[in-house]
């Protein structure tokens, strides 16, 4: 019997195992994970920490669900060695020979090599175990290091639990990879209005205390804290893999083709551990979003079972909920483009704020605050590379949808911008 092994049971790995089963009804499919839990959503961990949802809404699948699909789920099974030539996975209490392999090992938090980051009370917000640790934490003050989406969500969750929360960011604005300064300033003020202190342009130097966290020292101050949430970034979890086994890309992820196949025959990879192409910007890199990992898993698993499907690319629309107000971003930031190659339109409206970044009269970036209903159509325009001047000169049509309507509303400003180029 053919054996298809999938390492990692996040959304990419779970989808890969299920897709393989749909394509091949007879193969043995084995899903191995070092986690003690079946599939859960990392996207809602902050809501769980904040007591806004119960555990039942975090868990997406239970062991019995995999059993019904005839998928062998091996929990708490750490793969310690991969013999690629022999097609063998080894763990502490045994080994598994396979015919096809899907690597879906996900990502792990970046931990700086600084004093004190191994103390009790320092935690990420990556796993369900992390969330349980934060729910069990006692104290009154927390420092969150990093203001990416997970850092923002962690800070809000702890604030809702009644903690005094401080955000520390090395760069000059919150959510620096998603928003330019105008919207970032609004989001910073919203956090501060809800009692969260935000310190920007500040470098963390050490975590102080004996065995437990007592304070965080930065290059400007000392912040008392019983808990430190470290969320400065993620990198691919590839401790099982080396460059002699499969090729890596420039960003440190596994390099795959459109079929999610690696450079080694019989091995596919998907999810946070892989590189892919951004459908909007064309950039090859690590695009660690849930919906990307889910589709990659489906493609990798189906192809490992004998299909010939292609992954179209990653769609990197990121949304963040900041005290029940939604902010969204996709494409290039204005701060990433220089000189005369780009123009920016920033408009306020009753439903929120919209920032459009244009290059050569084409839409290449969108940032929105408030209602994000118009985002889908604008993203479609970005992916199509449509010239906005030609869109505006056309007679309005019902088929344009919300994206066309919002552009009509901005018509005078857009024409002024484009005529100035």
Res 405 pLDDT > 70? no
User: Phi first, then psi: what are they for 75, rounded to 5°?
Assistant: -85, 155
- CA nearest to 282, candidates 361, 389, 382: 382
User: With a threshold of 0.85, does the pTM exceed it?
Assistant: yes
Helix axes 411-420, 401-409, angle to 10 degrees: 70
195 by Cβ neighbours in 10 Å (0-12 / 13-18 / 19+) ranks as exposed
Average pLDDT over every residue of 374-385? 76
| pLDDT for position 20 | 98
Cα end-to-end span (Å), the chain = 64
* pLDDT above 90 as % of the chain: 74
Same domain, 297 and 210: no
Q: Which of 212, 230, 248 is the last residue of a domain?
A: 230
Same domain, 225 and 262: no
| pLDDT for position 161 | 94
Q: Which of 230, 255, 289 is the last residue of a domain?
A: 230
For 306-340, write each residue's pLDDT tens digit. 999 999 999 999 999 999 889 999 999 998 887 66
pLDDT averaged over every residue in the chain: 90
Q: Which of 304, 334, 352 is the last residue of a domain?
A: 304
CATH number for 295: 3.50.50.60
Same domain, 290 and 268: yes
Question: Domains in the chain: how many in total?
Answer: 3
| pLDDT for position 138 | 86
Residue 313 lies in a domain: no
For 241-280, write each residue's pLDDT tens digit. 988 899 999 999 999 999 999 999 999 999 999 999 998 8
Give the integer Cα–Cα distance in Å for 44 and 394: 43
Same domain, 245 and 278: yes
Which residue is associated with the tokens 């494409």? 331
Average pLDDT over every residue of 20-45? 95
Same domain, 334 and 294: no
For 83-140, write each residue's pLDDT tens digit. 999 999 999 889 999 999 999 999 999 988 899 999 999 999 999 999 999 999 988 9
| pLDDT for position 417 | 47
Res 42 pLDDT > 70? yes
Range of the domain at 352: 325-420
Same domain, 239 and 220: no
Same domain, 183 and 209: yes
């Amino acid at each position: 019997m053919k054996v298809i092994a999938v390492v990692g049971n996040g959304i990419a790995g779970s989808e890969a195992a299920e897709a393989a089963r749909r394509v091949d009804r007879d193969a043995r499919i084995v899903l191995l994970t070092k986690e003690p839990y079946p599939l859960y959503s990392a996207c809602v961990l902050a809501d769980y920490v904040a007591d806004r949802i119960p555990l039942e809404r975090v868990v997406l699948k239970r062991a019995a669900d995999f059993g019904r699909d005839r998928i062998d789920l091996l929990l708490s099974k750490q793969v310690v060695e991969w013999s690629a030539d022999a097609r063998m996975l080894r763990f502490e209490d045994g080994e598994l020979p396979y015919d096809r392999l899907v690597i879906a090992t996900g990502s792990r938090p970046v931990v700086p090599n600084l004093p004190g980051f191994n103390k009790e009370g320092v935690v990420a917000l990556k796993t369900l175990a992390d969330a349980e640790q934060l729910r069990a934490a006692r104290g009154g003050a927390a420092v969150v290091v990093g203001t990416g989406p997970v850092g923002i969500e962690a800070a809000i969750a702890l604030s809702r639990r009644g903690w005094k929360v401080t955000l520390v960011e090395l760069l000059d604005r919150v959510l620096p990879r998603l928003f330019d300064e105008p919207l970032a300033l609004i989001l910073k003020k919203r956090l501060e209005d809800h009692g969260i202190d935000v310190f920007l342009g500040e470098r963390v130097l050490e975590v102080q205390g004996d065995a437990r966290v007592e304070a965080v020292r930065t290059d400007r101050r000392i912040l008392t804290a019983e808990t430190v949430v470290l969320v400065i970034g993620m990198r691919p979890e590839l401790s099982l893999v080396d460059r002699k086994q499969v090729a890596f890309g420039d960003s440190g992820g596994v390099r795959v083709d459109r079929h999610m196949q690696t450079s080694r025959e019989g091995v596919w990879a998907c999810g946070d551990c892989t590189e892919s192409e951004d459908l909007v910007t064309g950039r090859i890199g690590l695009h660690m979003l849930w919906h990307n990992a889910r589709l990659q898993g489906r493609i990798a698993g189906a192809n490992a079972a004998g299909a010939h499907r292609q992954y179209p690319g990653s769609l990197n629309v990121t949304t963040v909920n900041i005290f029940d107000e939604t902010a969204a971003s996709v494409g290039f930031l204005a701060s990433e483009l220089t000189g005369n190659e780009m123009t920016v339109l920033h408009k306020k409206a009753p439903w929120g704020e919209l920032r459009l970044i244009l290059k050569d009269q084409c839409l290449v970036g969108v940032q929105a605050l408030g209602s994000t209903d118009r985002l889908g159509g604008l993203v479609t325009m970005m992916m199509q590379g449509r010239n906005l001047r030609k869109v505006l000169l056309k007679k309005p049509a019902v088929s344009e949808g919300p994206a066309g309507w919002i552009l009509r509303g901005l018509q005078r400003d857009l024409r002024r911008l484009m005529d100035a180029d």
